[in-house]
């Protein structure tokens, strides 16, 4: 039996004893029967499970990010947003605005202006990068990245491959439309 069913069963027993609602298993039956509990679970909690599944599906689709090289328009799920800085290809590497991509994937981002350091955290993954360097710190381990982090119009630009990998995201590239898909 799932833990939620134990909770429901406990509530049903308390309701039957008149402790919770005073109404018991029904107007004519002060005792809680198995069929009453099954009906209660069916009507209350299965509906809630369906709503939770729908919410998870909606969240999953919101992580579908589409960016185009040289274009400030992007999509997160079905929503179109305007970026401050468009993704670019620099020295053969696709560079994207860190805050937009990280936050769209559920990470929190911080900027330390004194150190010129950007950091983000998602789950147990913590990453720190310093502007101008080709290295990053991932969970206290220094790793090389293939392009230096830089700031353009107040936005920290980072290599897409590195950021996607660090955030456990998958990327796709469409050379015809110059579109990047991040999931």
Give the pLDDT of the chain (183 residues) as one tens digit per residue.
455 555 555 555 555 554 444 444 554 565 667 777 777 777 776 666 766 665 555 554 446 899 999 999 999 988 899 999 999 999 899 999 998 998 888 888 999 999 999 998 988 889 999 999 999 999 999 999 999 999 999 999 999 989 888 888 889 999 999 999 998
The pLDDT score that the predictor gives to residue 172 is 92
**Are 139 and 91 in the same domain?**
yes
- Prediction pTM value: 0.65
Return the number of other C-beta atoms located less than 10 Å from residue 45's C-beta.
15
Same domain? For 70 and 58 the reply is no
pLDDT of residue 22: 46
pLDDT of residue 21: 46
- Same domain for 19 and 79? no
Say if residue 106 is in the same domain as residue 131: yes
Same domain, 93 and 155: yes
- CA 110 – CA 115 distance, rounded (Å): 12
**83 and 56 fall within a common domain:** no
Enclosing H/E stretch for 75: strand 73-76
Tokens of 3: 């833990």
Regarding whether 133 and 104 lie in a shared domain, the answer is yes
- Long-range contacts made by residues 173-178, C-beta under 8 angstroms, separation at least 24? 173/94, 177/68, 178/68, 178/69, 178/70
pLDDT confidence of residue 7: 54
Count of the separate structural domains present in the chain: 2
Q: Report which of 119, 150, 123 is spatially closest to residue 137, judged by C-alpha positions.
A: 119
Residue 42 has a pLDDT of 72
User: Residue 42 belongs to what domain range?
Assistant: 3-62
**CATH (domain of 135):** 3.30.457.10
């Amino acid at each position: 039996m799932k833990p939620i069913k134990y909770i429901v069963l406990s509530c049903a027993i308390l309701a039957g004893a008149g402790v919770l609602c005073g109404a018991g298993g029904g107007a004519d039956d002060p005792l809680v029967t198995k069929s009453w509990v099954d009906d209660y679970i069916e009507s209350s909690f299965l509906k809630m499970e369906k709503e939770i599944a729908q919410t998870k599906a909606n969240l999953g689709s919101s992580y579908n990010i589409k960016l185009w090289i040289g274009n400030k328009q992007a999509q997160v799920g079905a929503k179109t947003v305007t970026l401050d800085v468009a993704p670019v290809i620099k020295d053969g590497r696709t560079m994207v605005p860190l805050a937009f991509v990280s936050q769209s994937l559920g990470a929190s981002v911080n900027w330390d202006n004194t150190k010129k350091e950007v950091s983000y955290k998602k789950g147990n993954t913590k990453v720190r990068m310093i502007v101008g360097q080709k290295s990053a710190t991932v969970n206290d381990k220094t790793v090389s990245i293939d392009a230096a982090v830089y700031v353009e119009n107040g936005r920290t630009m980072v290599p897409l491959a590195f950021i996607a990998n660090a955030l456990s995201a998958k990327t796709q590239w469409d050379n015809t439309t110059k579109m990047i898909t991040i999931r």
